[in-house]
């Protein structure tokens, strides 16, 4: 039996997120499934699992985005499928804050603010500490509570956060979130 592919789920997929996630994947020696980006996600779960298995390195960073769909949209459907596939080992998730219209939220184990500080509170889209303890508001996030994920890290809007997470600056918050998941995995 082949070893399961190690995957980090990321609940964002717009162009800024794609650039940041690609950059971080390259920096850590992993891979990003670039075609998983989209606002909303366009690839289904089985297509993503097939791409995951074609990827020669891990961890594999996979993006999911609902573009504000009410209830379970295409990003969440694909995320559920990938996380439930027995040939994939989800080692963590990055829950991305947004200004959602439908007040979706999820529990997080820890958040990283735009200054790189770990906090037990959630963060908002700009990466600023929120008032909610252990939860984050966003799009494509509520499904994370339904899945068995070892660690969920909350962050602001990937590749943005008021200029603190741009690719030009090395996407330091996204990188720190990925490194934290890898560190906790052992």
Q: Are 137 and 103 in contact (CB under 8 A)?
A: yes
Q: Are 14 and 39 in contact (CB under 8 A)?
A: yes
The mean pLDDT of 111-133, rounded to a whole number, is 95
* Mean of the per-residue pLDDT values of the chain: 92
Give CA–CA dist 144/10, Å, rounded. 10
Q: Are 64 and 79 in contact (CB under 8 A)?
A: yes
Give CA–CA dist 19/104, Å, rounded. 25
The mean pLDDT of 52-63, rounded to a whole number, is 94
pLDDT digits (tens, 9 = 90+) for 142-170: 889 999 999 999 999 999 999 999 999 99
Give CA–CA dist 29/80, Å, rounded. 26
75 pLDDT more than 90: no
The mean pLDDT of 115-122, rounded to a whole number, is 97
Q: Is the dihedral of CA 153, 156, 159, 162 positive or negative?
A: negative
Give CA–CA dist 177/185, Å, rounded. 12
With bands split at pLDDT 50, 70 and 90, how would you rate the model's confidence at 105? confident
Strands of 97-146, DSSP E: 105-107, 110-112, 118-119, 121-123, 129-133, 135-137
pLDDT, greater one: 40 or 158: 158
Give CA–CA dist 53/46, Å, rounded. 11
With bands split at pLDDT 50, 70 and 90, how would you rate the model's confidence at 3? confident
Radius of gyration of the chain (CA): 14
């Amino acid at each position: 039996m082949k070893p399961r592919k190690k995957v980090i789920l990321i609940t964002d997929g717009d162009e800024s997120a794609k650039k940041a996630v690609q950059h971080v994947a390259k920096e850590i020696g992993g891979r990003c499934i670039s075609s998983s980006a989209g606002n909303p996600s366009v690839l289904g779960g089985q297509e993503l699992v097939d791409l995951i298995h074609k990827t020669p390195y891990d961890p594999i960073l996979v993006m999911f985005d609902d573009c504000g769909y009410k209830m379970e949209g295409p990003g969440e459907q694909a995320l559920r499928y990938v996380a439930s596939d027995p040939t994939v080992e989800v080692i963590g998730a990055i829950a991305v804050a947004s200004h959602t219209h439908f007040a979706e939220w999820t529990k997080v184990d820890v958040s990283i603010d735009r200054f790189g500080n770990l906090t037990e509170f959630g963060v908002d889209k700009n990466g600023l500490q929120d008032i909610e303890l252990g939860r984050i508001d966003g799009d494509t996030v509520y499904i994370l509570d339904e899945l068995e994920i070892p660690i969920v890290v909350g962050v602001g809007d990937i590749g943005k956060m008021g200029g603190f997470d741009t690719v030009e600056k090395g996407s330091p918050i996204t990188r720190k979130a990925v490194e934290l998941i890898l560190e906790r995995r052992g």
